[in-house]
Chains A and B, each alone.
Chain A
Amino acid sequence: MVKIKRVLRLYALYAKMDLAWLLRDTTFAVLAVLADVITNLSSVTGVFLLAWRFDGIGGMSRFEVLFMLAYATIITGIFQTFCAGGNVGHISRRVGRGQLEHMFIQPMLLPAQLATEGFIPFSGSSNLISGTVIMIIATVNLGISLPWWWIFSLIGNLIVTVAIVLGKSYLASSLTFYAPVQAEEISSYVIDSFGHISTFPLSGMPLYLQIPLITFIPTGLLAWFPTLALFGRAPFNLPAWYPLLFAVVLWMIATYFFRKGLNFYVKKGINRYHAMGHRR
Protein backbone atom coordinates (compact mmCIF):
# COMPACT_ATOMS: atom_id res chain seq x y z
CA MET A 1 0.00 0.00 0.00
CA VAL A 2 2.84 2.33 0.89
CA LYS A 3 4.52 1.54 -2.42
CA ILE A 4 1.34 2.26 -4.38
CA LYS A 5 0.94 5.58 -2.59
CA ARG A 6 4.52 6.46 -3.40
CA VAL A 7 4.06 5.59 -7.08
CA LEU A 8 0.89 7.72 -7.21
CA ARG A 9 2.74 10.59 -5.54
CA LEU A 10 5.44 10.27 -8.18
CA TYR A 11 2.85 10.30 -10.98
CA ALA A 12 1.41 13.50 -9.51
CA LEU A 13 4.87 15.00 -9.29
CA TYR A 14 5.75 14.14 -12.90
CA ALA A 15 2.37 15.47 -14.06
CA LYS A 16 3.03 18.76 -12.26
CA MET A 17 6.52 19.01 -13.78
CA ASP A 18 5.13 18.24 -17.24
CA LEU A 19 2.47 20.94 -16.95
CA ALA A 20 5.05 23.48 -15.84
CA TRP A 21 7.28 22.48 -18.78
CA LEU A 22 4.42 22.86 -21.25
CA LEU A 23 3.28 26.22 -19.93
CA ARG A 24 6.71 27.80 -19.50
CA ASP A 25 6.16 29.64 -22.77
CA THR A 26 2.84 30.30 -24.56
CA THR A 27 4.39 30.04 -28.01
CA PHE A 28 5.91 26.72 -27.06
CA ALA A 29 2.61 25.37 -25.72
CA VAL A 30 0.71 26.41 -28.87
CA LEU A 31 3.38 24.98 -31.15
CA ALA A 32 3.53 21.71 -29.21
CA VAL A 33 -0.23 21.21 -29.50
CA LEU A 34 -0.21 22.26 -33.16
CA ALA A 35 2.66 19.88 -33.97
CA ASP A 36 0.85 16.99 -32.36
CA VAL A 37 -2.44 17.73 -34.13
CA ILE A 38 -0.73 17.97 -37.54
CA THR A 39 1.31 14.85 -36.90
CA ASN A 40 -1.71 12.84 -35.78
CA LEU A 41 -3.92 13.87 -38.67
CA SER A 42 -1.22 13.29 -41.26
CA SER A 43 -0.31 9.86 -39.93
CA VAL A 44 -3.84 8.49 -40.33
CA THR A 45 -5.05 10.47 -43.32
CA GLY A 46 -3.16 8.64 -46.07
CA VAL A 47 -4.42 5.13 -45.39
CA PHE A 48 -7.94 6.39 -44.57
CA LEU A 49 -8.12 8.26 -47.88
CA LEU A 50 -7.19 5.00 -49.59
CA ALA A 51 -9.86 3.13 -47.66
CA TRP A 52 -12.42 5.80 -48.57
CA ARG A 53 -11.44 5.82 -52.23
CA PHE A 54 -11.72 2.05 -52.55
CA ASP A 55 -14.62 1.56 -50.15
CA GLY A 56 -12.49 -0.41 -47.70
CA ILE A 57 -9.39 -2.52 -48.06
CA GLY A 58 -9.10 -6.30 -48.24
CA GLY A 59 -12.45 -7.06 -46.68
CA MET A 60 -12.22 -4.35 -44.04
CA SER A 61 -14.78 -1.58 -44.43
CA ARG A 62 -13.84 2.10 -44.49
CA PHE A 63 -14.72 2.58 -40.85
CA GLU A 64 -13.05 -0.62 -39.73
CA VAL A 65 -9.87 0.74 -41.31
CA LEU A 66 -10.50 4.05 -39.53
CA PHE A 67 -10.99 2.16 -36.25
CA MET A 68 -7.67 0.39 -36.83
CA LEU A 69 -5.93 3.72 -37.48
CA ALA A 70 -7.52 5.13 -34.33
CA TYR A 71 -6.31 2.10 -32.37
CA ALA A 72 -2.75 2.68 -33.65
CA THR A 73 -3.02 6.38 -32.71
CA ILE A 74 -4.26 5.54 -29.19
CA ILE A 75 -1.37 3.09 -28.73
CA THR A 76 1.05 5.87 -29.68
CA GLY A 77 -0.81 8.15 -27.28
CA ILE A 78 -0.64 5.75 -24.33
CA PHE A 79 3.02 5.11 -25.05
CA GLN A 80 3.75 8.83 -25.20
CA THR A 81 1.74 9.59 -22.07
CA PHE A 82 3.31 6.92 -19.88
CA CYS A 83 6.66 6.07 -21.44
CA ALA A 84 7.94 8.99 -23.51
CA GLY A 85 9.33 11.10 -20.66
CA GLY A 86 13.03 10.62 -20.03
CA ASN A 87 13.28 8.01 -22.79
CA VAL A 88 11.83 5.36 -20.51
CA GLY A 89 10.24 3.66 -23.53
CA HIS A 90 13.17 4.33 -25.83
CA ILE A 91 15.35 2.73 -23.20
CA SER A 92 18.27 2.03 -25.56
CA ARG A 93 19.00 5.78 -25.48
CA ARG A 94 19.34 5.75 -21.70
CA VAL A 95 21.50 2.64 -21.77
CA GLY A 96 23.60 3.70 -24.76
CA ARG A 97 24.28 7.14 -23.33
CA GLY A 98 25.49 5.68 -20.06
CA GLN A 99 22.62 7.30 -18.18
CA LEU A 100 21.31 4.21 -16.45
CA GLU A 101 23.72 4.59 -13.55
CA HIS A 102 22.13 7.97 -12.86
CA MET A 103 19.12 5.92 -11.79
CA PHE A 104 21.17 3.61 -9.57
CA ILE A 105 21.89 6.40 -7.11
CA GLN A 106 18.21 7.26 -6.64
CA PRO A 107 16.67 5.93 -3.41
CA MET A 108 14.15 3.90 -5.32
CA LEU A 109 13.93 0.60 -7.15
CA LEU A 110 14.78 0.71 -10.85
CA PRO A 111 11.41 -0.77 -11.98
CA ALA A 112 9.53 1.85 -9.94
CA GLN A 113 11.57 4.63 -11.54
CA LEU A 114 10.97 3.22 -15.00
CA ALA A 115 7.25 2.90 -14.32
CA THR A 116 6.81 6.51 -13.25
CA GLU A 117 9.51 8.64 -14.86
CA GLY A 118 8.01 8.53 -18.34
CA PHE A 119 4.65 10.04 -17.30
CA ILE A 120 3.93 13.22 -19.29
CA PRO A 121 0.11 13.52 -19.28
CA PHE A 122 -0.11 17.08 -20.60
CA SER A 123 2.50 17.26 -23.33
CA GLY A 124 2.17 13.62 -24.37
CA SER A 125 -1.54 12.91 -24.44
CA SER A 126 -2.64 14.53 -27.70
CA ASN A 127 -2.46 11.25 -29.63
CA LEU A 128 -4.50 9.60 -26.91
CA ILE A 129 -7.18 12.28 -27.15
CA SER A 130 -7.30 12.50 -30.94
CA GLY A 131 -7.16 8.71 -31.28
CA THR A 132 -10.10 8.37 -28.90
CA VAL A 133 -12.12 10.92 -30.88
CA ILE A 134 -11.35 9.14 -34.17
CA MET A 135 -12.25 5.78 -32.60
CA ILE A 136 -15.61 7.12 -31.41
CA ILE A 137 -16.34 8.45 -34.92
CA ALA A 138 -15.38 5.10 -36.46
CA THR A 139 -17.43 3.08 -33.98
CA VAL A 140 -20.53 5.25 -34.42
CA ASN A 141 -20.27 4.96 -38.21
CA LEU A 142 -19.80 1.21 -38.06
CA GLY A 143 -23.40 1.04 -36.86
CA ILE A 144 -22.96 -2.11 -34.81
CA SER A 145 -24.29 -2.84 -31.33
CA LEU A 146 -21.56 -3.77 -28.92
CA PRO A 147 -22.00 -5.67 -25.64
CA TRP A 148 -21.35 -3.82 -22.34
CA TRP A 149 -18.09 -5.66 -21.72
CA TRP A 150 -16.65 -4.66 -25.10
CA ILE A 151 -15.09 -1.49 -23.65
CA PHE A 152 -13.18 -3.60 -21.11
CA SER A 153 -12.03 -5.85 -23.91
CA LEU A 154 -10.82 -2.77 -25.76
CA ILE A 155 -8.95 -1.47 -22.71
CA GLY A 156 -7.40 -4.91 -22.15
CA ASN A 157 -6.26 -5.07 -25.76
CA LEU A 158 -4.74 -1.60 -25.55
CA ILE A 159 -2.78 -2.55 -22.42
CA VAL A 160 -1.51 -5.74 -24.05
CA THR A 161 -0.49 -3.89 -27.22
CA VAL A 162 1.46 -1.28 -25.24
CA ALA A 163 3.12 -4.16 -23.38
CA ILE A 164 4.19 -5.63 -26.73
CA VAL A 165 5.64 -2.30 -27.86
CA LEU A 166 7.60 -1.98 -24.61
CA GLY A 167 8.65 -5.63 -24.64
CA LYS A 168 10.07 -5.24 -28.15
CA SER A 169 11.93 -2.12 -27.13
CA TYR A 170 13.45 -3.63 -23.99
CA LEU A 171 14.39 -6.86 -25.76
CA ALA A 172 16.15 -5.03 -28.59
CA SER A 173 17.73 -2.58 -26.13
CA SER A 174 19.48 -5.46 -24.36
CA LEU A 175 21.97 -5.25 -27.23
CA THR A 176 22.82 -1.69 -26.22
CA PHE A 177 24.58 -2.92 -23.08
CA TYR A 178 27.16 -4.57 -25.34
CA ALA A 179 27.26 -2.02 -28.21
CA PRO A 180 26.24 1.31 -26.64
CA VAL A 181 27.13 3.60 -29.53
CA GLN A 182 25.91 1.44 -32.38
CA ALA A 183 22.66 0.35 -30.69
CA GLU A 184 21.80 3.64 -28.97
CA GLU A 185 18.89 4.24 -31.35
CA ILE A 186 17.72 0.63 -31.68
CA SER A 187 14.53 1.47 -29.74
CA SER A 188 13.68 4.07 -32.38
CA TYR A 189 13.89 1.44 -35.10
CA VAL A 190 11.82 -1.04 -33.11
CA ILE A 191 9.16 1.41 -31.92
CA ASP A 192 8.98 4.21 -34.46
CA SER A 193 10.16 2.79 -37.79
CA PHE A 194 8.35 -0.53 -37.48
CA GLY A 195 5.42 1.15 -35.72
CA HIS A 196 4.51 3.05 -38.88
CA ILE A 197 3.86 -0.25 -40.62
CA SER A 198 1.14 -0.97 -38.08
CA THR A 199 -1.16 1.43 -39.95
CA PHE A 200 -1.31 -0.90 -42.96
CA PRO A 201 -4.34 -3.21 -42.97
CA LEU A 202 -2.93 -6.70 -43.58
CA SER A 203 -6.29 -8.20 -44.55
CA GLY A 204 -6.17 -9.85 -47.94
CA MET A 205 -2.39 -10.07 -47.95
CA PRO A 206 -0.72 -13.46 -48.43
CA LEU A 207 -0.07 -15.73 -45.45
CA TYR A 208 3.69 -15.61 -45.94
CA LEU A 209 3.51 -11.88 -45.18
CA GLN A 210 0.81 -11.94 -42.50
CA ILE A 211 2.36 -14.71 -40.38
CA PRO A 212 5.81 -13.07 -39.94
CA LEU A 213 4.03 -9.82 -39.12
CA ILE A 214 2.20 -11.36 -36.17
CA THR A 215 5.17 -13.39 -34.93
CA PHE A 216 8.80 -12.40 -35.66
CA ILE A 217 8.12 -8.76 -36.51
CA PRO A 218 4.81 -8.28 -34.69
CA THR A 219 3.63 -5.04 -36.29
CA GLY A 220 0.39 -6.81 -37.18
CA LEU A 221 -0.33 -7.18 -33.46
CA LEU A 222 -0.18 -3.43 -32.89
CA ALA A 223 -3.48 -2.54 -34.57
CA TRP A 224 -4.64 -4.94 -37.28
CA PHE A 225 -5.03 -8.14 -35.20
CA PRO A 226 -6.66 -6.46 -32.16
CA THR A 227 -9.07 -4.53 -34.41
CA LEU A 228 -10.33 -7.68 -36.08
CA ALA A 229 -10.36 -9.54 -32.75
CA LEU A 230 -12.47 -6.78 -31.18
CA PHE A 231 -15.04 -7.26 -33.95
CA GLY A 232 -15.03 -11.03 -33.40
CA ARG A 233 -13.02 -11.87 -36.52
CA ALA A 234 -9.55 -12.65 -35.15
CA PRO A 235 -7.24 -13.61 -38.06
CA PHE A 236 -6.46 -17.30 -38.75
CA ASN A 237 -9.13 -18.29 -36.22
CA LEU A 238 -6.59 -17.61 -33.50
CA PRO A 239 -8.04 -16.89 -30.05
CA ALA A 240 -8.57 -13.21 -29.32
CA TRP A 241 -6.09 -13.53 -26.43
CA TYR A 242 -3.22 -14.51 -28.73
CA PRO A 243 -1.62 -11.04 -28.31
CA LEU A 244 -1.72 -11.54 -24.52
CA LEU A 245 0.11 -14.85 -24.86
CA PHE A 246 2.58 -13.20 -27.23
CA ALA A 247 3.15 -10.33 -24.77
CA VAL A 248 3.79 -12.70 -21.86
CA VAL A 249 6.35 -14.76 -23.82
CA LEU A 250 7.96 -11.60 -25.20
CA TRP A 251 8.27 -10.09 -21.71
CA MET A 252 9.82 -13.28 -20.33
CA ILE A 253 12.45 -13.25 -23.07
CA ALA A 254 12.97 -9.49 -22.79
CA THR A 255 13.35 -9.66 -18.99
CA TYR A 256 15.92 -12.47 -19.27
CA PHE A 257 18.09 -10.66 -21.83
CA PHE A 258 17.69 -7.22 -20.26
CA ARG A 259 18.80 -8.55 -16.85
CA LYS A 260 21.72 -10.34 -18.50
CA GLY A 261 22.73 -7.11 -20.22
CA LEU A 262 22.29 -5.16 -16.99
CA ASN A 263 24.64 -7.55 -15.17
CA PHE A 264 27.21 -7.00 -17.91
CA TYR A 265 26.67 -3.24 -17.63
CA VAL A 266 27.19 -3.00 -13.87
CA LYS A 267 30.52 -4.78 -14.25
CA LYS A 268 31.83 -3.00 -17.36
CA GLY A 269 29.99 0.35 -17.39
CA ILE A 270 29.76 2.58 -20.44
CA ASN A 271 32.65 4.90 -21.08
CA ARG A 272 30.95 7.52 -23.22
CA TYR A 273 31.59 10.69 -21.29
CA HIS A 274 34.64 12.92 -21.45
CA ALA A 275 35.95 14.29 -18.19
CA MET A 276 34.18 17.61 -18.89
CA GLY A 277 30.85 15.82 -19.32
CA HIS A 278 30.51 15.83 -23.11
CA ARG A 279 29.37 12.63 -24.77
CA ARG A 280 31.60 10.79 -27.23
Chain B
Amino acid sequence: MRKYFITAITAMKGQTNGGIIYMFPNILVSLMYLLPLMFLWRVIAADGTDVGMTLKQLLTYTYMNALLSEMLVVRTLASSWNYEGQLISLFARPFPVFGQLMAQTIGGWIPMLLIFSLPMLVIAPLFGISIIPATVWFFPSLLLCISLGFAIDFIFACVTIRLRGMAWLGHSIRMAIVSLFSGTVIPFRILPFGLTKIFEFQPFGSLGGAPLSLFVGTTEPAQIIATQIFWNFVLWPVAIFWFAKSKERQVSFGG
Protein backbone atom coordinates (compact mmCIF):
# COMPACT_ATOMS: atom_id res chain seq x y z
CA MET B 1 0.00 0.00 0.00
CA ARG B 2 2.92 2.29 0.76
CA LYS B 3 3.98 2.43 -2.89
CA TYR B 4 0.55 3.69 -3.92
CA PHE B 5 0.67 6.27 -1.15
CA ILE B 6 4.12 7.47 -2.26
CA THR B 7 2.89 7.68 -5.87
CA ALA B 8 -0.08 9.78 -4.76
CA ILE B 9 2.15 12.09 -2.70
CA THR B 10 4.53 12.49 -5.65
CA ALA B 11 1.60 13.37 -7.93
CA MET B 12 0.31 15.82 -5.35
CA LYS B 13 3.66 17.57 -5.11
CA GLY B 14 3.94 17.53 -8.90
CA GLN B 15 0.89 19.79 -9.13
CA THR B 16 2.63 22.54 -7.19
CA ASN B 17 6.24 22.08 -8.32
CA GLY B 18 6.20 25.43 -10.09
CA GLY B 19 4.50 27.10 -7.11
CA ILE B 20 0.88 27.39 -6.07
CA ILE B 21 0.47 30.39 -8.37
CA TYR B 22 0.47 28.03 -11.37
CA MET B 23 -2.77 26.51 -10.09
CA PHE B 24 -4.45 29.90 -10.42
CA PRO B 25 -5.64 29.34 -14.04
CA ASN B 26 -7.46 26.16 -12.98
CA ILE B 27 -9.11 27.98 -10.10
CA LEU B 28 -10.08 30.87 -12.37
CA VAL B 29 -11.56 28.47 -14.93
CA SER B 30 -13.55 26.69 -12.21
CA LEU B 31 -14.93 30.01 -10.98
CA MET B 32 -15.67 31.15 -14.51
CA TYR B 33 -17.75 28.03 -15.08
CA LEU B 34 -19.46 28.29 -11.73
CA LEU B 35 -20.56 31.93 -11.71
CA PRO B 36 -22.47 32.19 -15.03
CA LEU B 37 -24.18 28.85 -14.49
CA MET B 38 -25.31 29.83 -10.98
CA PHE B 39 -26.73 33.06 -12.33
CA LEU B 40 -28.32 31.17 -15.21
CA TRP B 41 -30.32 29.14 -12.69
CA ARG B 42 -31.38 32.35 -10.96
CA VAL B 43 -32.53 33.81 -14.29
CA ILE B 44 -34.53 30.67 -15.11
CA ALA B 45 -36.04 30.55 -11.62
CA ALA B 46 -36.92 34.25 -11.82
CA ASP B 47 -39.06 33.55 -14.90
CA GLY B 48 -41.36 31.60 -12.57
CA THR B 49 -41.30 28.43 -14.68
CA ASP B 50 -41.69 25.11 -12.88
CA VAL B 51 -38.15 23.79 -13.12
CA GLY B 52 -38.70 20.51 -11.29
CA MET B 53 -35.99 21.52 -8.83
CA THR B 54 -35.89 24.36 -6.33
CA LEU B 55 -33.44 27.21 -6.89
CA LYS B 56 -31.48 26.09 -3.83
CA GLN B 57 -31.20 22.58 -5.28
CA LEU B 58 -29.99 23.92 -8.62
CA LEU B 59 -27.41 26.20 -7.02
CA THR B 60 -26.18 23.45 -4.71
CA TYR B 61 -25.96 21.00 -7.62
CA THR B 62 -23.80 23.37 -9.67
CA TYR B 63 -21.71 24.50 -6.71
CA MET B 64 -20.91 20.95 -5.57
CA ASN B 65 -20.09 20.00 -9.15
CA ALA B 66 -17.47 22.76 -9.26
CA LEU B 67 -15.99 21.67 -5.93
CA LEU B 68 -15.84 17.95 -6.73
CA SER B 69 -15.41 18.17 -10.51
CA GLU B 70 -12.26 16.05 -10.72
CA MET B 71 -13.92 13.19 -8.80
CA LEU B 72 -17.26 13.39 -10.57
CA VAL B 73 -15.74 12.81 -14.01
CA VAL B 74 -12.44 11.04 -13.46
CA ARG B 75 -9.64 11.76 -15.92
CA THR B 76 -6.36 9.92 -15.51
CA LEU B 77 -3.25 10.70 -17.50
CA ALA B 78 -3.45 7.33 -19.29
CA SER B 79 -4.59 8.74 -22.64
CA SER B 80 -2.18 11.67 -22.76
CA TRP B 81 0.70 9.55 -21.44
CA ASN B 82 0.00 7.05 -24.20
CA TYR B 83 0.13 9.86 -26.76
CA GLU B 84 3.33 11.23 -25.23
CA GLY B 85 4.95 7.82 -24.99
CA GLN B 86 5.12 7.81 -21.20
CA LEU B 87 2.54 5.09 -20.54
CA ILE B 88 4.98 2.35 -21.46
CA SER B 89 7.31 3.34 -18.62
CA LEU B 90 4.59 2.35 -16.11
CA PHE B 91 5.01 -1.28 -17.16
CA ALA B 92 8.61 -1.20 -15.95
CA ARG B 93 7.56 -0.45 -12.37
CA PRO B 94 6.85 -3.23 -9.84
CA PHE B 95 3.14 -2.63 -9.38
CA PRO B 96 0.01 -2.71 -11.52
CA VAL B 97 -0.47 -0.05 -14.20
CA PHE B 98 -4.09 0.64 -13.20
CA GLY B 99 -3.00 1.01 -9.56
CA GLN B 100 -0.29 3.49 -10.48
CA LEU B 101 -2.67 5.55 -12.59
CA MET B 102 -5.32 5.56 -9.86
CA ALA B 103 -2.84 6.56 -7.14
CA GLN B 104 -1.37 9.23 -9.39
CA THR B 105 -4.84 10.61 -10.21
CA ILE B 106 -6.10 10.65 -6.63
CA GLY B 107 -2.90 12.36 -5.47
CA GLY B 108 -3.33 14.94 -8.19
CA TRP B 109 -6.78 15.88 -6.84
CA ILE B 110 -5.50 16.93 -3.42
CA PRO B 111 -4.02 20.39 -4.17
CA MET B 112 -7.23 21.66 -5.83
CA LEU B 113 -9.32 20.16 -3.03
CA LEU B 114 -7.21 21.98 -0.43
CA ILE B 115 -6.69 25.25 -2.27
CA PHE B 116 -10.06 25.63 -4.01
CA SER B 117 -12.72 23.19 -2.82
CA LEU B 118 -12.16 23.46 0.93
CA PRO B 119 -12.30 27.28 1.14
CA MET B 120 -15.30 27.29 -1.22
CA LEU B 121 -17.04 24.73 1.01
CA VAL B 122 -16.48 26.94 4.06
CA ILE B 123 -18.02 29.99 2.39
CA ALA B 124 -20.83 28.05 0.66
CA PRO B 125 -23.54 28.95 3.22
CA LEU B 126 -22.98 32.63 2.36
CA PHE B 127 -24.42 31.90 -1.10
CA GLY B 128 -27.35 29.92 0.23
CA ILE B 129 -25.71 26.61 -0.66
CA SER B 130 -26.43 23.55 1.44
CA ILE B 131 -23.25 21.66 2.24
CA ILE B 132 -25.09 18.80 3.97
CA PRO B 133 -26.14 16.01 1.57
CA ALA B 134 -29.86 15.25 1.45
CA THR B 135 -29.06 11.58 2.00
CA VAL B 136 -26.05 9.64 3.29
CA TRP B 137 -26.33 7.51 0.14
CA PHE B 138 -24.44 10.36 -1.53
CA PHE B 139 -21.17 8.97 -0.14
CA PRO B 140 -21.40 5.40 -1.52
CA SER B 141 -22.74 6.89 -4.75
CA LEU B 142 -19.67 9.15 -4.99
CA LEU B 143 -17.39 6.14 -4.49
CA LEU B 144 -19.24 4.20 -7.19
CA CYS B 145 -19.03 7.25 -9.46
CA ILE B 146 -15.25 7.48 -8.96
CA SER B 147 -14.86 3.74 -9.54
CA LEU B 148 -16.92 3.90 -12.74
CA GLY B 149 -15.01 7.02 -13.79
CA PHE B 150 -11.74 5.09 -13.67
CA ALA B 151 -13.25 2.22 -15.68
CA ILE B 152 -14.56 4.60 -18.36
CA ASP B 153 -11.23 6.45 -18.44
CA PHE B 154 -9.32 3.20 -18.99
CA ILE B 155 -11.73 2.26 -21.79
CA PHE B 156 -11.03 5.63 -23.44
CA ALA B 157 -7.31 4.98 -22.95
CA CYS B 158 -7.79 1.76 -24.96
CA VAL B 159 -9.56 3.79 -27.66
CA THR B 160 -6.56 6.13 -27.71
CA ILE B 161 -4.15 3.21 -28.03
CA ARG B 162 -6.21 1.81 -30.93
CA LEU B 163 -6.32 5.21 -32.61
CA ARG B 164 -2.51 5.42 -32.44
CA GLY B 165 -1.53 8.98 -33.40
CA MET B 166 -5.12 10.25 -33.37
CA ALA B 167 -5.39 10.65 -29.61
CA TRP B 168 -7.04 14.05 -29.93
CA LEU B 169 -9.98 12.42 -31.74
CA GLY B 170 -10.70 10.23 -28.74
CA HIS B 171 -10.20 13.21 -26.47
CA SER B 172 -12.65 15.38 -28.45
CA ILE B 173 -15.36 12.73 -28.52
CA ARG B 174 -14.89 11.96 -24.85
CA MET B 175 -15.03 15.57 -23.66
CA ALA B 176 -18.12 16.30 -25.72
CA ILE B 177 -20.00 13.16 -24.70
CA VAL B 178 -19.13 13.36 -21.04
CA SER B 179 -20.01 17.03 -20.62
CA LEU B 180 -23.55 16.40 -21.86
CA PHE B 181 -24.26 12.83 -20.78
CA SER B 182 -22.70 12.87 -17.29
CA GLY B 183 -25.25 15.42 -16.09
CA THR B 184 -22.62 17.47 -14.30
CA VAL B 185 -23.39 20.71 -16.13
CA ILE B 186 -27.14 20.41 -16.65
CA PRO B 187 -29.13 18.19 -14.26
CA PHE B 188 -31.05 15.43 -16.04
CA ARG B 189 -34.08 16.32 -13.98
CA ILE B 190 -34.70 19.54 -15.92
CA LEU B 191 -34.25 18.17 -19.45
CA PRO B 192 -37.24 18.30 -21.84
CA PHE B 193 -38.81 15.62 -24.12
CA GLY B 194 -38.76 12.97 -21.34
CA LEU B 195 -34.99 12.66 -21.69
CA THR B 196 -34.52 12.45 -17.91
CA LYS B 197 -35.01 8.68 -17.64
CA ILE B 198 -32.98 7.90 -20.76
CA PHE B 199 -30.06 10.00 -19.56
CA GLU B 200 -30.18 8.55 -16.03
CA PHE B 201 -29.84 4.97 -17.23
CA GLN B 202 -27.04 5.36 -19.79
CA PRO B 203 -23.52 4.60 -18.44
CA PHE B 204 -22.28 8.20 -18.28
CA GLY B 205 -25.37 9.06 -16.23
CA SER B 206 -23.87 7.08 -13.35
CA LEU B 207 -20.94 9.48 -13.23
CA GLY B 208 -21.24 12.97 -11.71
CA GLY B 209 -24.96 13.46 -12.20
CA ALA B 210 -25.78 10.47 -9.99
CA PRO B 211 -24.13 11.54 -6.70
CA LEU B 212 -25.08 15.17 -7.33
CA SER B 213 -28.77 14.28 -7.66
CA LEU B 214 -28.53 12.37 -4.38
CA PHE B 215 -26.72 15.28 -2.75
CA VAL B 216 -29.62 17.62 -3.55
CA GLY B 217 -32.26 14.94 -3.03
CA THR B 218 -33.97 14.87 -6.41
CA THR B 219 -33.72 11.13 -7.11
CA GLU B 220 -34.39 7.89 -5.26
CA PRO B 221 -31.13 6.42 -3.88
CA ALA B 222 -32.14 2.82 -4.68
CA GLN B 223 -32.44 3.50 -8.40
CA ILE B 224 -29.22 5.51 -8.59
CA ILE B 225 -27.09 3.10 -6.56
CA ALA B 226 -28.44 0.05 -8.40
CA THR B 227 -27.68 1.65 -11.78
CA GLN B 228 -24.17 2.61 -10.67
CA ILE B 229 -23.46 -0.91 -9.40
CA PHE B 230 -24.75 -2.35 -12.67
CA TRP B 231 -22.48 -0.17 -14.83
CA ASN B 232 -19.49 -0.86 -12.59
CA PHE B 233 -20.08 -4.60 -13.00
CA VAL B 234 -20.40 -4.23 -16.76
CA LEU B 235 -17.64 -1.73 -17.54
CA TRP B 236 -14.81 -2.81 -15.22
CA PRO B 237 -14.44 -6.23 -16.90
CA VAL B 238 -14.58 -4.46 -20.28
CA ALA B 239 -11.82 -2.06 -19.17
CA ILE B 240 -9.59 -4.82 -17.77
CA PHE B 241 -10.07 -7.16 -20.71
CA TRP B 242 -9.67 -4.48 -23.39
CA PHE B 243 -6.62 -2.93 -21.73
CA ALA B 244 -5.00 -6.37 -21.54
CA LYS B 245 -5.68 -6.79 -25.26
CA SER B 246 -4.60 -3.25 -26.15
CA LYS B 247 -1.42 -2.80 -24.15
CA GLU B 248 0.78 -4.59 -26.66
CA ARG B 249 -0.42 -2.26 -29.38
CA GLN B 250 1.21 0.73 -27.75
CA VAL B 251 3.81 2.52 -29.79
CA SER B 252 6.33 4.81 -28.16
CA PHE B 253 9.24 6.77 -29.47
CA GLY B 254 9.38 9.10 -26.50
CA GLY B 255 10.02 12.81 -26.89
Tell whether B255 is near chain A: CB-to-CB under 8 Å: yes
**Residue-wise interface mask of A (50-67) relative to B, using a CB-CB cutoff of 8 A (1 in contact, 0 not):** 101111011000000000
Interface residues on B, range: 35 or more
B234 contacts A by Cβ under 8 Å: no
Give Cα A182–Cα B24 distance, bound, in whole angstroms. Answer: 12
Q: Tell yes or no: A133 within 8 A of B by CB.
A: no
- B192 near A209 with CB under 8 A, answer no
B175 touches A39 (CB 8 A): yes
Given A196-B33, A205-B39: A45 touches B180 (CB 8 Å cut-off) = yes
Choose, from A6-14, A27-35, A148-156, the stretch at the interface: A27-35
B40: chain A residues within 8 A (beta carbon): 50, 57-58, 200-201, 205
Select the stretch in B109-117, B166-174, B239-247 that faces chain A.
B166-174
Which of A108-116, A186-194, A232-240, A259-267 has 4 or more CB atoms under 8 Å from chain B? A186-194
Q: Which residues of B contact A54 (CB under 8 A)?
A: 44, 47, 49, 51
Interface size class of A (residues with CB under 8 A): 35 or more
Interface string of A1-40 (1 = CB under 8 A from B): 0000000000000000000000000001001101110111
**B32 in contact (CB, < 8 A):** yes
A107 at the interface (CB under 8 A from B): no
Contact: B176 with A42, CB < 8 Å? Answer: yes
CB within 8 A of B186: which of A50, A217, A278? A50
Q: 0/1 per residue, A203-214, Cβ < 8 Å to B?
A: 111100100010
Q: Report A's interface with B, CB cutoff 8 A.
A: 28, 31-32, 34-36, 38-43, 45-47, 49-50, 52-55, 57-58, 181-182, 186, 189, 193-194, 196-197, 200-206, 209, 213, 217, 219, 277-279
List the 9 closest pairs (A to B, CB-CB), nearest first.
A42-B176, A204-B43, A39-B176, A53-B192, A58-B43, A200-B36, A205-B39, A193-B29, A42-B180
Known A-B contacts: A278-B254, A278-B255. Give 8 more (CB < 8 A).
A32-B166, A32-B169, A38-B177, A55-B49, A203-B43, A205-B39, A205-B43, A277-B255
B interface residue numbers (CB < 8 A to A): 18, 22, 25, 28-29, 32-33, 35-37, 39-40, 42-44, 46-47, 49, 51, 163, 166, 169-170, 172-173, 175-177, 179-181, 185-186, 190-193, 195, 254-255
